[in-house]
Amino acid sequence: MARLPYKKLKQSGQAVLMIVLVLSVVLTLVVSAVTRSVVDLDITKYDDNAIRAFDAAQAGIERVLIGETVPPGTTLQSGATVTAASTDSTTVANMYLYPLELYSGESAVFWFVNHKLTASGDLIVDCLMGGCVTPAQVRFCWGTLGTAGDGNSKAPAIEIETYYSTSSPSPQSKYNDMYDWSTIQTKKLSIDPNTTRRLSNNFSAPAVAGGIGCANPINFQFSTRHDDDLGDLGYESLPNGSLILIRVTMLYNDDKTHPIGIRSSGSIPPQGRVITSTGVSGDATRKLSLYQGFPEFPFEFGSVIFSKGSITK
């Protein structure tokens, strides 16, 4: 029997090797494609769960807003679970940090009367439990720490509006009918930390330098203090005082938002409520928080129309 030449045997081994290499490449590509498909499927599944969890968190907030109770782990039709609850937005050591930072033109309202939700769902003012206070001193704190005052055209200034009653000093009778504003008065005070700008806008300088007395729960850049003996907030000259609310509007900072808060010499009633809702679907969790303040006066309430004659429509 004739033998094949050695050269031909060597060429046959190379062909087998090439086939093995090709099969390895093809197998690698197949494994890679399968792995990618599995990963894409997991991502798609997680995205779907994330959407369900987010929708569940929103549903929890909506249920609390309409007065429903949402027990922990409540299961929705989508299969997601939700836990939602409402807590009072309260102070820390008589210091209240407004939960939202403000741009120029935006306002924060600080109430000094206590609100109560009745069994019928009506929100009323209730001072019988000692929740209505008229402080002898109010400190206003604003501005992100490190913000320059002088030489900074974007340094935030503030306009302070106090709303106070001139009715009987009896705690409840001042506020028992919040639909009758015939005894409500308002006074405005504007504060600007920019010395140069005060020459043209005629604002007042801050009563204290820097953010003194405003280190809780965060540090502020600017502050101003107003005592009852100054009489610049309006209500101080009234017997026993009858402060209802203070609205503070941020000015000039149209480039970015700044925090704002107040410190009172007395306790500050709850300023609203914070609704927190957590939705869970599979391995996805989404948490939402909503700040709900109390109803506010319209901006027009603090304005006056001057007319020489009668006003005609």
Query: Does the pLDDT value for residue 254 go beyond 70?
Result: yes
pTM assigned to the model: 0.72
Average pLDDT over residues 235-250: 72
| pLDDT at site 247 | 92
- 38 or 206: which carries more pLDDT confidence? 206
Report the share of the chain in percent with pLDDT over 90: 27
- Poorest-pLDDT segment among 170-174, 186-190, 267-271: 170-174
Query: Does the pLDDT value for residue 307 go beyond 90?
Result: no
Query: Does the pLDDT value for residue 174 go beyond 50?
Result: no
Average pLDDT over residues 27-43: 72
3-state secondary structure string across the chain: CCCCCHHHHHHHHHHHHHHHHHHHHHHHHHHHHHHHHHHHHHHHHHHHHHHHHHHHHHHHHHHHHCCCCCCCCEECCCCCEEEEEEEECCCECCEEECCCCECCCCEEEEECCCEEECCCCCEEECCCCCCCCCCCEEEEEEEECCCCCCCCCCCCEEEEEEEEECCCCCCCCCCCCCCCCCCEEEEEEEECCCHHHHHHHCCECCCCCCCCCCCCCCCEEEEEEEECCCCCCCHHHCCCCCEEEEEEEEECCCCCCECEEEEECCCCCCCEEEEEEEEEECCEEEEEEEEEECCCCCHHHHCCCCCCCCCCC
Average pLDDT over residues 115-135: 68
Average pLDDT over residues 242-261: 91
| pLDDT at site 279 | 92
Please write the tens of the pLDDT for every residue from 211-240: 777 877 888 999 998 865 555 665 655 554
| pLDDT at site 25 | 77
Average pLDDT over residues 116-134: 67
Please write the tens of the pLDDT for every residue from 55-106: 999 999 999 888 888 888 898 888 889 999 888 887 777 889 998 899 999 9
